[in-house]
Chain A
Amino acid sequence: MELYQKTAAELSRLLQDKEITAVEVFNSFTERIDEVDPHLKVFITCTLDSALETAAAVDRRRMENEELHPLAGVPVAIKDNFCTEGIKTTCASKMLESYIPPYDAAVVEKLKRIGMPILGKTNMDEFAMGSSTENSAFFVTRNPWDLERVPGGSSGGSAAAVAAGMVPLALGSDTGGSIRQPAALCGITGLRPTYGRVSRYGLIAFASSLDQIGPLALNALDCSLLLEVIAGYDQRDSTSLPHEVPQYSAAAGRELEGVRIGLIEENISANFDPEIKFAVLKMAALLEENGARITEVSLPHTDYGLSAYYLIAPSEAASNLGRYDGVRYGYSADGDNIISLFSRTRGQGFGAEVKRRIMIGTYSLSAGYYDAYYLQAMKVRTLIRRDYEKAFQNFDILVGATTPTPAFKLGEKADDPLKMYLSDVCNITDALAGVPSLSIPAGLHSSGLPMGMQLTAAPLNEGLLFQAAAVLEKCSDSPPQQRTALNLTGRGEL
């Protein structure tokens, strides 16, 4: 087995035992990137020189028997909406095509501090708005399982990178499903943590009451290891939570005896692909065999989630993206006066989906519509939150499908924004409620594409999600490597 086919936990063990070096690990993954990135198009920017320096420094320190973090020397990729000092950070937008941040995001500082080599910045939907990574201003990323299909989005580059063995770990951001949906479509594990669990300092803002950073990896244990690194209070993000960061990785391995699991009726809906429904039910049965108690549960306001989300998120985006005015940084058009400078910069610098969201948001915040749209959506958000509060009085974990269908074809939904929005239908209410939510592989569809199951817990109960996921992984007959697209060859075949 090649090093690039190993999980982060396996690499960490081998590195700590000095059986391999961080530079060897780096070489294995970069060769893999050379082989498959021309087909998948994952990276907007590769940062291999600095990553090699980091790996070499880790090896030197280990030789001197310095105490290192377990993930020191384990490579990682990050979505291109995390600010990186001195390295261009584009948000996959023409607006920020040549933007070089003067500082690092909080999560980037943490990765650097413990010596994780950052291999590059991954492709995404422009400003994280989209579900297929087709909204990137630069190029389309392909799904490693089928190059004619989307990897999902908006963290599609990060998901495809992990699924294809280009990195063992990646970071994404999730506003309404942008970690979980691509994780499901690429057959890997992805977590949206509790809102506020991870500092958003230096994450380029989309919708501030919803944005959250999370890990993507081959399995739950790897996700938990990366979450331990990035979680925690940060005084530079006033919404970050002060609660102590538990040792999440200890959760994998605990039994499920007595854990109460609710099967969300709305997330195994009759309109979903029947094979996905069947896969979720099968996995629920496995949880039951392992001691969990399963009952169906309804979250009655789920039906209104999509509508509320597509008013709240664009409203916050319209406000957040007001900063792109061609004055301080980013793209700047010529204008004879300040208004034409602003309008032309924004008209030329933003892509179609970003413009649509700014328009929806501006409309719903404008005089005469505010009460009927934005305010009403925020009230519906309260009802959705209460659905969860009520459900968590009787259940520890809620489960359902991550997506209604497996990965769709490139171009299939690109011209119909509403159809695209519907691909996040199972992910949105968790985001509105601020609760942690994990997507795990749920086997393969008859089309050969991966399917995903989503597990949701009460705020700050990420550990329970890892616990259940690890139990399911143990029941599965194939190691995580075989559930991913690590067999993709240089010719672009599985």
Chain B
Amino acid sequence: MSDDFIREVEHVARLARLSLSSEEKELMADQLSAILETARKVREIDTVGIEPTAHVFSIPAFLREDVIYPSLPVEKVLQNAPKKMKSYFRVPSITVIEEE
């Protein structure tokens, strides 16, 4: 596998915030290039003038009535938090950032 593609894998993993071991990177480079090779088949078709489909039915968005519903109580929202403090989620510093 070319070093170029390994670098590409590292770039994409950084965008996805996904830490990968060096073995995972190697394997991922092999598998991704095979999968993308297959996926490239979509480029064989001429799609000039074809609109993309993001949603299958061209129906207008249904708006619900503008009524206020109760939200989940704070303690329920926080019940699964790995780290919390009072009524907050707790995270490490967001000002000191060194890329891994």
With the chains together, A351 CA to B62 CA distance in Å? 37
Among B8, B21, B47, the one with the most A-chain Cβ atoms within 10 Å of its Cβ is B47
- A369-387: which have CB < 8 Å to B? 372-373, 375-383, 385
- Please judge, given known A-B contacts A341-B92, A359-B13, whether A209 and B18 are in contact too, CB under 8 Å: no
A233 to B, closest residue via Cβ: B62
Within 8 Å CB of A341, what residues of B? 91-92
Interface string of A126-164 (1 = CB under 8 A from B): 000000000000000000000000000000000000000
**Pair B17/A346 contact, Cβ less than 8 Å:** yes
With the chains together, A382 CA to B64 CA distance in Å? 29
With the chains together, A196 CA to B62 CA distance in Å? 12
B68 at the interface (CB under 8 A from A): no
Within 8 Å CB of B55, what residues of A? 209, 239
Within 8 Å CB of A346, what residues of B? 16-19
A50 at the interface (CB under 8 A from B): no
**Pair B38/A418 contact, Cβ less than 8 Å:** yes
- B1-27: which have CB < 8 Å to A? 8-9, 12-13, 15-21, 24
Within 8 Å CB of B83, what residues of A? 332
Interface string of A303-331 (1 = CB under 8 A from B): 11011101100000010000001111111
- A269-327: which have CB < 8 Å to B? 301, 303-304, 306-308, 310-311, 318, 325-327
**Pair B98/A385 contact, Cβ less than 8 Å:** no
- Please classify how large the interface on chain B is, using the bins under 10, 10 to 19, 20 to 34, 35 or more: 35 or more
A392 at the interface (CB under 8 A from B): no
**Pair A238/B19 contact, Cβ less than 8 Å:** no
With the chains together, A304 CA to B17 CA distance in Å? 30
With the chains together, A430 CA to B45 CA distance in Å? 20
- A417-446: which have CB < 8 Å to B? 417-418, 421, 432-434
Within 8 Å CB of A336, what residues of B? 92-93, 96
A260 at the interface (CB under 8 A from B): no
- A88-103: which have CB < 8 Å to B? 99-100, 102-103
Looking at the complex, which of A57-65, A360-368, A404-412 is the stretch in contact with chain B?
A: A360-368
**Pair A382/B19 contact, Cβ less than 8 Å:** no
B85 at the interface (CB under 8 A from A): no
A242 at the interface (CB under 8 A from B): yes
- Please judge, given known A-B contacts A359-B9, A434-B56, whether A338 and B80 are in contact too, CB under 8 Å: no
**Pair A328/B80 contact, Cβ less than 8 Å:** yes
Within 8 Å CB of A383, what residues of B? 45, 47, 50
- Please judge, given known A-B contacts A209-B55, A376-B42, A376-B47, whether A339 and B82 are in contact too, CB under 8 Å: no
- Please judge, given known A-B contacts A343-B19, A355-B18, A360-B39, whether A382 and B52 are in contact too, CB under 8 Å: yes
Within 8 Å CB of A418, what residues of B? 34-35, 38
Among B19, B47, B51, the one with the most A-chain Cβ atoms within 10 Å of its Cβ is B19
Within 8 Å CB of A308, what residues of B? 42
A82 at the interface (CB under 8 A from B): no
With the chains together, A383 CA to B50 CA distance in Å? 8
Within 8 Å CB of B43, what residues of A? 372, 376
With the chains together, A377 CA to B47 CA distance in Å? 10
A379 to B, closest residue via Cβ: B47
**Pair B99/A339 contact, Cβ less than 8 Å:** yes
With the chains together, A346 CA to B36 CA distance in Å? 22
The 9 closest A-B pairs by CB, nearest first: A434-B56, A378-B52, A347-B19, A332-B82, A329-B80, A235-B64, A379-B47, A307-B41, A343-B19
Sample of 25 A–B contacts (CB below 8 Å): A102-B72, A103-B72, A196-B57, A301-B45, A304-B44, A306-B41, A310-B38, A311-B39, A327-B81, A329-B80, A340-B92, A346-B17, A346-B18, A347-B18, A355-B28, A356-B35, A359-B16, A359-B28, A360-B36, A360-B39, A362-B12, A363-B32, A377-B39, A377-B42, A379-B50
Q: 12 more A-B contacts (CB under 8 A) besides A209-B56, A329-B81, A417-B34?
A: A241-B57, A341-B92, A346-B16, A347-B20, A355-B18, A355-B20, A362-B15, A362-B16, A363-B36, A375-B52, A417-B31, A421-B35
